Chain A
């Protein structure tokens, strides 16, 4: 596939919401190990907020901007802040109604760049960044001009990243206080973001 159309992007987001809903309890249970146990609810709520502007969207830039505003204004908490920042950053680096491989890579890179402005978490800290950073990096590193191949590369890297958090000790935010206790469980945010990237690749 040569281009990512706005209609395919909408299908990717709908698929992400569906899969995240199916695994909502799993994300909350993972979060309960080192947090307040609400990540499943938080990610489902946040993704649900973006559906209205998504369906109404007619071109990438304004649609992604409206999705970012919706999630930030309708919910609060770190999950929605980071997801909102991701869409706003994607909006800054997208235009039109279809994106070729290079334009799609730029859009995802823009999303990551804006998320990095909101959190100091790095790869290895046992956060959602352990899925997001490898996903976007794998996409950037690929020389493929095929949309599907790029999204599959991102999904595989996100999954590996999420699985790698099982062995990690939480090193960020309140979870840091759990120290060694956090080892042995995957991070809830990395797992849910990996689920989103898998859903994106599945649709295309």
Chain B
């Protein structure tokens, strides 16, 4: 079966450019294209504030470009399906955002993205562009307490965008933003579960085939196996098991204020996501934590993979303020705040 028979696409080579064109047409008051595969705000933030830029492959919509907008990202540099954008395009974006206040580049820990970022930053620094990197590594499937470099960046980057985006809007310096973001990064953990794997939209190849009745906890963002295959259990049992693993990583203290997000990865309905959220929230509350901010949404998807990512974070007071009270107006994240 060819890819065109199971998906509404045209030429597989043009998926990324066509999806980005459609996206900026739909949200033209908020976002625009500033070059090939470079998504920026329709109305730029003032130049005396730090710009926040990120990068990543397409195929994960609405991530990451869905969070470009007031109070969140200034720019998202997009690669082809599941692929890093390369140093050249990222360097072009860094040149666009050159400013005294500097650029904070958020990099999800995937080898291609990290390499593109390192190269582009090295060149940018030689051109007098002030840029610092913030590496995200929220995935816990490499094992509890695994070193940061072994942990991938999953959808935990999205609440991070909200927090540092709001702080940048407030006029925080590059170093202050780095501290705020790094502190959140150390307190956010994500775990993914899949029960049906995804296909690659350009060649229709199946990435890891999960047998019927089996789920895999720890599945990567592109369907890479994570090791935790087991028979499918109920929504409540799945949720409870995942909360338990995430708390082992986070080691919260009673009374901690928590963020809980259930991110659908493509083929799991909001009905199911809500049922999962219910149990996860109940478990957290039973353990004496206050869930002070929540969300059920497809923020980062993996084609028609069935499953979800559970994101839990221990929030500091400033993180709560940035998440809940500060205005954001990106196509896929709106907060009515000041």
Which A positions have Cβ atoms within 8 angstroms of B? 65, 69, 72-74, 76-78, 81, 84-85, 88, 118
Contacts and interface: CB of A to CB of B under 8 A. Distances in A.
Interface in B174-224: none
B122 interface: yes
Interface in B53-97: 84, 86-88, 91
A72 B122 contact: yes
A69 B116 CA distance: 13
B115 A78 contact: yes
B123 A76 contact: no
B87 A73 contact: yes
A69 B86 contact: no
B126 A76 contact: no
A74 B123 CA distance: 13
B4 interface: no
B119 A76 contact: yes
A84 B91 CA distance: 15
Contact of A81 (B84, B88, B119, B126): B119
Nearest to A76: B86
13 contacts: A69-B123, A72-B122, A73-B91, A76-B87, A76-B112, A76-B119, A77-B115, A81-B115, A81-B118, A81-B119, A84-B119, A84-B122, A88-B126
A173 to B, nearest CB: 9
A81 B88 CA distance: 12
Interface in B107-129: 112, 115-116, 118-119, 122-123, 126
B115 A85 contact: no
A74 B91 CA distance: 12
Contacts of B84: 76
A85 B118 CA distance: 10
A73 B115 contact: no
Interface string B13-43: 0000000000000000000000000000000
Contact of B118 (A65, A88, A118): A118
Query: How would you classify the secondary structure of chain A's contact residues: helix, strand, loop or mixed?
Result: helix
A73 B88 contact: yes
Contacts of B122: 72, 84-85, 88, 118
Contacts of A72: 87, 119, 122-123
Contacts of A74: 88
A42 B53 CA distance: 29
A161 B123 CA distance: 30
Contacts of A88: 122, 126
A169 B137 CA distance: 28
A76 B91 contact: no
Contacts of A73: 87-88, 91, 123
A88 B112 CA distance: 21
A140 B118 CA distance: 28
A118 B116 CA distance: 12
A80 B122 CA distance: 13
Given A73-B88, A81-B118, 16 more contacts: A65-B126, A72-B87, A72-B122, A73-B91, A73-B123, A76-B84, A76-B87, A76-B112, A76-B116, A77-B115, A78-B115, A81-B115, A81-B119, A84-B119, A88-B126, A118-B118
B225 to A, nearest CB: 14
A61 to B, nearest CB: 12
Contacts of B126: 65, 88
